[in-house]
Structure 1
Amino acid sequence: MNPVLIGYSFLALAIIFEVLGTTFLVKSEQFTRLVPTLMVAILYICSFYFLTQTLKTIPLGIAYAIWGGVGIVLTAIIGLVLFKQSIDIPAAAGIALIIGGVVVINVFSTSVGH
């Protein structure tokens, strides 16, 4: 299997675990509820594990930019859907710029083979 594809698969898992962990931050109520707090810790550990596996094939700056950018977008969506949080126009514009940055990295960067 292509090492870069494996790297991006690990990155996808890192993003999923990070977003789930961040979602449980709300449920932990500032770490006052045991089970959600444990879930935060477990999910973040899983996320960082898969992020370290990603770094075998994808440069740190590229992996972290994608991890952070996609994580921000997914977390904002979860905030909208699950927690009924609103996003104003400047926040939506900022999120659109983040998406644009992730697209630019993936389409135009030669730092990692696609």
Structure 2
Amino acid sequence: MFSEARDKINNVLERYISFEHPWDYVAHFVVSFLLVFGIFFVLKKFLHKTSALFLSILATFFLGFTKEIWLDKVKEGFSGIDMTANILGIYLAYLVVKKNFKG
């Protein structure tokens, strides 16, 4: 009974939380950070800073989540750690924008 539960937990951990490609997580972090910044800088010319930041965060999260859903259907599966790296990159960009861009 316990070995079956342990095997199920190990299968979930191996599928969703794998540290096989650490540079991939760095790439997710950096790309998410840069996407928020890039989209924000384009949108802030047309919208208020708060709206531009919100939309850039939303768009970046949606792109990362959509990519993971696509990978789940096509290739190796959804990666929770990739999404965590995406969210951390988005959060850092949020903090930098909030601190450095007034108005």
TM above 0.5, yes or no, is: no
Higher helix share: 2
Larger radius of gyration: 2
TM-score bracket relative to the smaller structure? 0.3 to 0.5
Greater relative contact order (Cα < 8 A, sep 6+): 2
TM-score (norm 1): 0.39
